[in-house]
């Protein structure tokens, strides 16, 4: 049983022992629906919510950590992993909700946690509030939280730099995006060891995207291929579909329709596995146009 289910089951058991309804336990703490989802192990209760539930149920808060074998470090990893999951799904409303619930948690007041929450708050500022300059200021501030060297960036700082590059790209500042992605790649080369290969995969994907929009198709293929090789090397599906799409699109733009369409078909297969129907639809529409062009030629 995973930690969410163990803690959820404990909440439910304690509630029943106390002969409380879900309405009674949740009142003033969370919604009844949220409590139901906590008890079913579908979502994590924030530390603040667990505190108030523990008070109402008459047990110390660490009772939940001990029963679920969930240490504060485990809880931190779960929260950050969940936030990154929703970033991947582009569900920025949920990300902002989680950030706002957790950023003032006493457990997370060190510079590294503060940096993580400010980073994701900035991303939400841009995608929800369309606050370009505010988002950039927060991202630069997030990097400054842990900067110890003018020459070297940590992996987390490089990841935040990647977010800055993405926002420049979204705004159409392609040259600035490209130079920022390249800066990130150069900092990766200076690291003695890269612990998280996804950081490099994200930057290679970003470079490929920017170059595709700049109509530098051969270079776009080069960086996407490098990202694809990393995905295969580390046995990850992360950005695998997107990288196949980048290569396929660039090759089609170069007139290499047969090979390009083959890559687009592989991208569709990956997105079908991931149940990403929106991307499947978009690529099928793109592919049909190239197939028509191929027939005419």
pTM (2 decimals)?
0.76
Write the pLDDT tens digit of every residue in 181-202: 999 999 999 988 888 999 999 9
Q: Which are the contacts of 29, defined by CB distance < 8 A and separation ≥ 6?
A: 35, 49, 52, 53, 56
Task: Evaluate whether 253 touches 286 at the Cβ level (below 8 Å).
Answer: no
pLDDT at 2: 52
Please report, for residues 52, 225, 233, 265, the alpha-carbon distance to residue 230 in angstroms, rounded to integers and kept in the order given.
Answer: 45, 9, 5, 20
The span from the first CA to the last CA of the chain, in angstroms, equals 58
pLDDT recorded at residue 1: 41
Please answer whether residues 235 and 229 qualify as being in contact, where contact means their C-beta atoms are separated by less than 8 angstroms: no
**pLDDT tens digits, 111-141:** 888 999 999 999 999 999 999 999 999 999 9
pLDDT of residue 70: 54
Class of residue 82 by CB neighbours under 10 A (exposed 0-12, middle 13-18, buried 19+):
middle
CA-nearest of 188, 206, 193, 119 to 152 is: 188
Distances (CA, A) of 229 to 169, 185, 272: 24, 16, 21
Task: Output the pLDDT for position 50.
Answer: 85
Range of lowest pLDDT (61-75, 78-92, 159-173): 61-75
């Amino acid at each position: 049983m995973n930690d969410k289910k163990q803690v959820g089951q404990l909440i439910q058991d304690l509630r029943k022992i106390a002969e409380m309804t879900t309405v009674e336990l949740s009142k003033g703490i969370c919604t009844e629906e949220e409590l139901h989802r906590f008890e079913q192990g579908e979502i994590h209760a924030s530390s603040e919510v667990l505190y108030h539930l523990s008070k109402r149920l008459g047990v110390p808060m660490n009772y939940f950590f001990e029963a679920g074998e969930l240490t504060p470090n485990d809880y931190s990893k779960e929260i950050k992993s969940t936030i990154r999951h929703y970033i991947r799904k582009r569900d920025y409303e949920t990300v902002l909700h989680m950030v706002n619930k957790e950023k003032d948690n006493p457990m997370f007041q060190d510079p590294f946690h503060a940096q993580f929450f400010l980073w994701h708050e900035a991303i939400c500022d841009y995608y929800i509030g369309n606050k370009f300059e505010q988002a950039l200021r927060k991202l630069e501030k997030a990097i400054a939280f842990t900067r110890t060297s003018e020459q070297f960036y940590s992996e987390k700082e490089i990841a935040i730099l990647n977010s800055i590059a993405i926002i420049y790209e979204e705004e159409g500042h392609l040259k600035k995006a490209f130079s920022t992605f390249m800066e990130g790649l150069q900092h990766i080369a200076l690291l003695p060891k890269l612990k998280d290969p996804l950081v490099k995969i994200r930057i290679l994907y970003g470079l490929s995207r920017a170059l595709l929009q700049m109509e530098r198709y051969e270079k776009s293929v080069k960086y996407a291929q490098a990202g694809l090789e990393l995905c295969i090397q580390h046995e990850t599906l992360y950005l695998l579909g997107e990288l196949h799409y980048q290569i396929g699109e660039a090759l089609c733009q170069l007139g290499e329709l047969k090979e390009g369409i083959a890559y687009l078909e592989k991208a569709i297969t990956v997105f079908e596995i991931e149940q990403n129907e929106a991307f499947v639809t978009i690529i099928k529409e793109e592919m049909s146009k190239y197939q028509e062009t191929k027939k005419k030629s």
